[in-house]
């Protein structure tokens, strides 16, 4: 800078000082700029700035151009607090509070002031003090001191200093406000950061206990509290239980832990009772207060609400009266709101986990083998019975692994794959390598995937086999005496001339013997079919077969003056079937149609292709079957009992044998009937060639 450009007058210097101070919003920078200006630019010996503490009306040290040679005194100066209240006669403070500067050329009269320590210690003899004011509020004092050199402080300088003081007051106040907003903004950002951290942690927390511990920890860390506790609220019993705490002496907490308190007690109880936060700045004045720690002066209690009902209360305590600000209260409330969501989640998770455990326990202990697979083909559950059935090591974890990997070499895999490919459930019997038989149900479960339930039916199978063996042998043994009875009936007839009654009795014996023979034949057949007959497949021309049967039934038809009409197209595809068994099916159905149709009735045998199968029907215009009876008609030994059917012979086994035979062929059977109008029994037979194993085992 050149000499010409350098400010020459005090006014110009002052303007420079003001501009330099305005350039910053940082209080420390403003004060150090002021220090520099007092000595370097304005050429005073020393300067001191005291500022009012915004809260408790005291003057405190802000800055000084020079440090005191004595370190202790310097420390005292920096810590000094000069009270501004009750200072009626203070020669310095009174004018300052009125906004009047005080020019001192003789310190003596001022040694009565509360400022005397400063005057004495700093050796003030010639000084000028100007109050810093914002409106009527004193914000500080600027003191210029020329004591070391004794240089006069001119009137012009004093006037300038007053202008400077006004400017400093405003600049410092704006900086303070700026800093305050800045700090508040900082605090808010910090709080948001904390809350988002809390959210993150709570999201990962599924234990209610941990949620509460985190909650207390944060509440304690980010407020002025010395101790914090959490009580679980039971609205129904109007009571609460203290479950966690921080910051209490061990003895105090031991007494409190697990204690059940009624709502009516304490500030915590009040918060639980009303579901509203309580910020009590002086607990000694609160009638509800119950002392837990003797030092406590203020308490903040915030309920954690779930659907407007308190589930817990957080209580914070501090030995300082009014320790909790509105910001503290709001922070803990925000914390509680977050915790309540986490508590709800944790409760839900707990419930689901308990339910799942219950279900797993039931499933793992059930004797049925259960496997659950999700929609991606991964295992959800394999119970112990399933592991045992398929020899899977029980210690391995199966959940999450692909079904196919785990069951790859078992006989269940092809069944499961077939069910999944067909998108339909299935019921099958599965024989395990150790000859045990499982009844397998594979069912698609919406939203889950597939459930496979396997019931061990080996004992039934064995009993069934025994039953069939028993049936076969006894039936066989019964046949010989029956043949003998038949033979002797003939002999009696040939050797003895019998009267009319004798003839009738013999006729009845013959009828009964025939009925028994039929029953034995049917039973034997039933037993044979059930123990797994081998179908002897051949290429059956249905029209030819039905025509042969029509001829065979002719005598019976004629006897009842009935007709039988064959409606089988000549171009019906050839049916792969066991011809003998198919003949048995049709014989049974035609025989029933004739038996259960009054004289002069009609019977039709029809057939037509239907998709991949042939649909064959035997229809009559006979007695018909009621809907109630239709439901049982394929059950073994079931016979309709009506006056019309009473005199008709039968075993009740015919239709169940027919059904078994149709199903062995891979077909299905059904019927339509109306009482008094007639009956149609229809069945399907697949037209596709059977595979090798179907040849052996039936489809
Ligand atoms: P059953 O040896 O008694 O004929 P089935 O098993 O063949 O035994 O038939 C069971 C019952 O169904 C019969 O007793 C009969 O009441 C009824 N039923 C079967 N076919 C017909 C039909 N075509 N019309 C009316 N009732 C029938």
639 Cα to the center of ligand 1, angstroms: 6
Task: Assign domain 460-530 one CATH number from 1.10.287, 1.10.760, 3.30.1540, 1.10.3720.
Answer: 1.10.287
Which range of 508-522, 575-589, 632-646 scores highest in mean pLDDT? It is: 575-589
Superfamily of structural domain 368-449: PAS domain (3.30.450.20)
Q: What is the pLDDT of residue 697?
A: 52
Q: What is the pLDDT of residue 662?
A: 95
Helix (H) or strand (E) holding 605: strand 602-610
Give the integer Cα–Cα distance in Å for 443 and 451.
Answer: 5
245 contact partners, CB below 8 Å, separation of at least 6 = 216, 227, 228, 229, 230, 253, 256, 257
| pLDDT score of 696 more than 70 | no
What CATH code would you report for 196-350?
A: 3.30.450.40
88 contact partners, CB below 8 Å, separation of at least 6 = 94
| Among 562, 564, 655, residue to substitute to test ligand 1 (most atoms within 8 Å of Cβ) | 655
Helix (H) or strand (E) holding 130: strand 127-134
Which ligand 1 atom lies nearest to the CA of residue 645?
16
Residues flanking ligand 1, CB < 6 Å: 592-593, 596, 620, 622-623, 625, 633, 638-640, 645, 650-656, 679
Q: How confident is the model at residue 361 (pLDDT cuts 50, 70, 90)?
A: confident
Which range of 330-339, 528-537, 606-615 scores highest in mean pLDDT? It is: 606-615
Give tens-digit pLDDT for 606-620.
Answer: 999 998 999 999 999
Which ligand 1 atom lies nearest to the CA of residue 622?
24
Give tens-digit pLDDT for 467-509.
Answer: 878 877 888 888 888 888 888 988 888 887 888 888 888 888 9
Helix (H) or strand (E) holding 371: strand 369-374
Residue 564 · residue 603 · CB < 8 Å: yes
| pLDDT score of 151 more than 90 | yes
Q: Phi/psi at 589 (nearest 5 deg)? A: -70, -40
529 contact partners, CB below 8 Å, separation of at least 6 = 657, 660, 661, 664
Strand, coil or helix: 266: helix
Q: Residue whose CA is closest, atom 8 of ligand 1?
A: 652
Q: How confident is the model at residue 6 (pLDDT cuts 50, 70, 90)?
A: very low
Q: Which residue in 535, 531, 533, 532 sits closest to 468, CA to CA?
A: 531
Q: Phi/psi at 399 (nearest 5 deg)? A: -55, 135
Give the integer Cα–Cα distance in Å for 549 and 593.
Answer: 13
Q: Which residue has the tokens 């797993």?
A: 360
Q: What is the pLDDT of residue 499?
A: 87
Strand, coil or helix: 213: helix
In CATH terms, are 196-350 and 368-449 the same topology?
yes
Q: What is the pLDDT of residue 4?
A: 39
Q: How confident is the model at residue 142 (pLDDT cuts 50, 70, 90)?
A: very high
Q: Residue whose CA is closest, atom 2 of ligand 1?
A: 650
687 Cα to the center of ligand 1, angstroms: 28
Across the range 387-394, mean pLDDT stands at 90
552 Cα to the center of ligand 1, angstroms: 20
| pLDDT score of 2 more than 50 | no
Give tens-digit pLDDT for 228-261.
Answer: 998 888 888 888 888 888 888 888 888 888 888 8
| pLDDT score of 7 more than 60 | no
634 Cα to the center of ligand 1, angstroms: 9
Q: Which residue in 86, 87, 121, 88 sits closest to 107, CA to CA?
A: 121
Give the integer Cα–Cα distance in Å for 315 and 336.
Answer: 11
550 Cα to the center of ligand 1, angstroms: 19
Q: What percent of the chain has pLDDT over 90?
A: 45
Q: What is the pLDDT of residue 190?
A: 76
Q: Which CATH class is domain 5-185?
A: alpha beta
Q: What is the pLDDT of residue 211?
A: 75
Q: How confident is the model at residue 5 (pLDDT cuts 50, 70, 90)?
A: very low
Q: What is the pLDDT of residue 498?
A: 82
Give the integer Cα–Cα distance in Å for 312 and 212.
Answer: 9
Q: Which residue in 18, 29, 17 sits closest to 175, CA to CA?
A: 29
- Residue 297 burial by CB count (10 A; 0-12/13-18/19+): exposed, middle or buried? middle
Give the integer Cα–Cα distance in Å for 381 and 364.
Answer: 9
Residue 315 · residue 299 · CB < 8 Å: yes
Q: Which residue has the tokens 């000082």?
A: 17
677 Cα to the center of ligand 1, angstroms: 15
Task: Assign domain 537-697 one CATH number from 3.30.110.30, 1.10.3720.10, 3.30.565.10, 3.40.630.30.
Answer: 3.30.565.10
pTM of the model: 0.45
**Domain spans in the chain, listed from the N-terminal domain onward:** 5-185, 196-350, 368-449, 460-530, 537-697
Q: Which residue in 687, 583, 592 sits closest to 634, CA to CA?
A: 592
């Amino acid at each position: 800078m050149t000499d010409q450009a350098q400010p020459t007058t005090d006014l110009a210097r002052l303007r420079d000082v003001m501009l330099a101070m305005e350039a910053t919003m940082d209080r420390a920078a403003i004060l150090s700029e002021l220090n520099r200006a007092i000595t370097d630019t304005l050429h005073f010996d020393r300067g001191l700035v005291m500022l009012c503490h915004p809260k408790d009306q005291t003057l405190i040290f802000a800055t000084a151009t020079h440090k005191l040679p004595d370190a202790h005194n310097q420390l005292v100066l920096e810590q000094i607090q000069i009270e501004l209240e009750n200072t009626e006669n203070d020669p310095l403070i009174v004018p300052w509070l009125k906004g009047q500067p005080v020019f001192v050329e003789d310190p003596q009269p001022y040694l009565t002031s509360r400022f005397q320590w400063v005057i004495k210690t700093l050796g003030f003899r010639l000084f000028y003090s100007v109050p810093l004011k914002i409106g009527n509020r004193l914000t500080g004092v600027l003191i210029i001191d020329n004591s070391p050199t004794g240089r006069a402080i001119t009137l012009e300088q004093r006037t300038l200093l007053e202008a400077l003081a006004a400017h400093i007051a405003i600049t410092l106040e704006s900086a303070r406000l700026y800093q305050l907003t800045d700090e508040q903004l900082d605090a808010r950002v910090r709080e948001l950061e904390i809350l988002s951290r809390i959210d993150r942690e709570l999201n990962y927390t599924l234990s209610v206990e941990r949620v509460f511990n985190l909650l207390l920890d944060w509440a304690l860390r980010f407020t002025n509290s010395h101790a914090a506790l959490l009580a679980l609220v039971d609205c129904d019993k109007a009571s609460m239980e203290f479950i966690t705490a921080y910051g209490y002496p061990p003895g105090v907490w031991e007494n409190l832990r697990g204690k059940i308190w009624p709502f009516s007690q304490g500030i915590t109880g009040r918060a639980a009772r009303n579901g509203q936060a309580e910020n009590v700045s002086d607990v000694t004045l609160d009638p509800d207060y119950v002392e837990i720690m003797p030092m406590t002066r203020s308490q903040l209690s915030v309920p954690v609400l779930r659907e407007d009902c308190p589930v817990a209360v957080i209580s914070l305590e501090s030995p300082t009266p009014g320790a909790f600000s509105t910001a503290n209260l709001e922070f803990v409330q925000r914390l509680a709101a977050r915790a309540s969501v986490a508590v709800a989640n944790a409760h839900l998770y707990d419930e689901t986990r308990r339910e799942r455990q219950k279900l797993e326990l039931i499933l793992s202990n059930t004797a049925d083998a259960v496997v659950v697979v999700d929609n991606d083909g991964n295992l959800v559950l394999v119970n112990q019975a399933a592991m045992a059935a398929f020899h899977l090591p029980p210690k391995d974890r199966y959940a999450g692994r692909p079904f196919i990997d785990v069951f790859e070499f078992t006989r269940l895999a092809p069944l499961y794959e077939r069910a999944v490919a067909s998108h339909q459930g299935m019921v099958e019997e599965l024989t395990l390598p150790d000859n045990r038989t499982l009844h397998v149900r594979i069912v698609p479960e919406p939203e889950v995937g597939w459930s496979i339930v396997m019931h061990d039916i080996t004992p039934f199978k064995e009993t069934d086999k025994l039953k069939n063996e028993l049936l076969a042998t006894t039936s066989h043994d019964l046949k010989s005496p029956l043949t003998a009875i038949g033979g002797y009936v003939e002999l009696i007839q040939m050797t003895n001339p019998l009267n009319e009654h004798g003839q009738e009795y013999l006729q009845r014996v013959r009828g009964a013997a025939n009925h028994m023979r039929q029953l034995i034949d049917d039973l034997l057949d039933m037993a044979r079919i059930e123990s797994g007959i081998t179908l002897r497949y051949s290429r059956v021309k249905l029209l030819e077969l039905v025509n042969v049967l029509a001829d065979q039934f002719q005598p019976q038809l004629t006897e009842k003056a009935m007709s039988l009409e064959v409606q089988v197209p000549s171009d019906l595809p050839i049916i792969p079937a066991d011809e003998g068994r198919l003949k048995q099916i049709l014989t049974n159905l035609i025989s029933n149609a004739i038996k259960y149709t009054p004289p002069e009735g009609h019977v039709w045998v029809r057939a037509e292709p239907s998709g991949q199968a042939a649909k064959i029907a035997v229809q009559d215009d006979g007695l018909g079957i009621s809907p109630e009876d239709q439901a049982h008609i394929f059950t073994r030994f079931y016979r309709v009992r009506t006056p019309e059917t009473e005199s008709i012979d039968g075993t009740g086994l015919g239709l169940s044998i027919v059904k078994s035979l149709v199903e062995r062929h891979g077909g299905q059977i059904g019927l339509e009937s109306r009482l008094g109008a007639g009956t149609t029994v229809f069945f399907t037979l697949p037209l596709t060639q059977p595979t090798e194993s179907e040849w052996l085992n039936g489809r």
